[in-house]
């Protein structure tokens, strides 16, 4: 948000060979309350996954007046995605400028990645017996980092 606070849940898109998680995997996954979890074949967002983010993460946190800065990716700049939203505007960031002017990249992502990197380094250096590439541990790690980002 403009005041520097972190709003809502973290949206995590896992890479799955089939693009879907099996029912067995879903039953064993860690359920973090501060994460909205989805998956795709590539681990990247598509129009349907972006729409899922809009419905699960963005719309529940809309405020009276909201301006969303989006990358110039086709699935993010499609006006149909935003047509039913009230008191809302979006602006498209020029291509190849995201890392310089997108607040999510400049503020949140940089700090979130730093927290995760420090935990990875701590696990490696102290030889802690934890597999951070295992899905449940990855979800727990992202949940912890997001919790830290939301703290005052």
C-alpha 83/C-alpha 80 separation (Å) is 5
C-alpha 85/C-alpha 37 separation (Å) is 23
pTM over 0.75? The answer is yes
Query: Nearest CA to 34 among 55, 62, 5, 56?
Result: 56
Query: pLDDT digit string (tens) for 53-101?
Result: 999 999 998 888 888 888 888 888 888 888 888 888 889 988 888 778 8
- Average pLDDT for the chain: 88
Structural element, H or E, at residue 66: strand 66-70
Provide the H-helix boundaries in the chain: 23-28, 47-53, 74-77, 98-101, 103, 110-125, 135-150
pLDDT for the residue 147? 94
Query: pLDDT digit string (tens) for 90-126?
Result: 899 888 887 788 878 878 888 999 999 999 999 999 9
């Amino acid at each position: 948000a403009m005041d520097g606070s972190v709003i809502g849940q973290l949206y995590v898109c896992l890479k799955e060979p089939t693009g879907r998680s099996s029912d067995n995997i879903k039953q064993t996954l860690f359920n973090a309350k501060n994460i909205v979890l989805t998956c795709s074949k590539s681990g990247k967002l598509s129009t349907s996954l972006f729409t899922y983010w809009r419905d699960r993460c963005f719309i529940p946190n809309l405020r009276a007046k909201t301006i969303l800065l989006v990358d110039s990716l086709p699935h993010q700049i499609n006006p149909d995605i935003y047509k039913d939203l009230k008191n809302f505007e979006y602006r498209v960031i020029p291509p190849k400028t995201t890392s310089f002017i997108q607040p999510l990249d400049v503020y949140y992502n940089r700090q979130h990645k730093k927290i995760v990197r420090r935990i990875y380094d701590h696990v490696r250096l102290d030889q802690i017996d934890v597999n951070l590439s295992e899905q449940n541990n990855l979800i727990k790690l992202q949940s912890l980092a997001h919790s830290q980002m939301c703290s005052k």
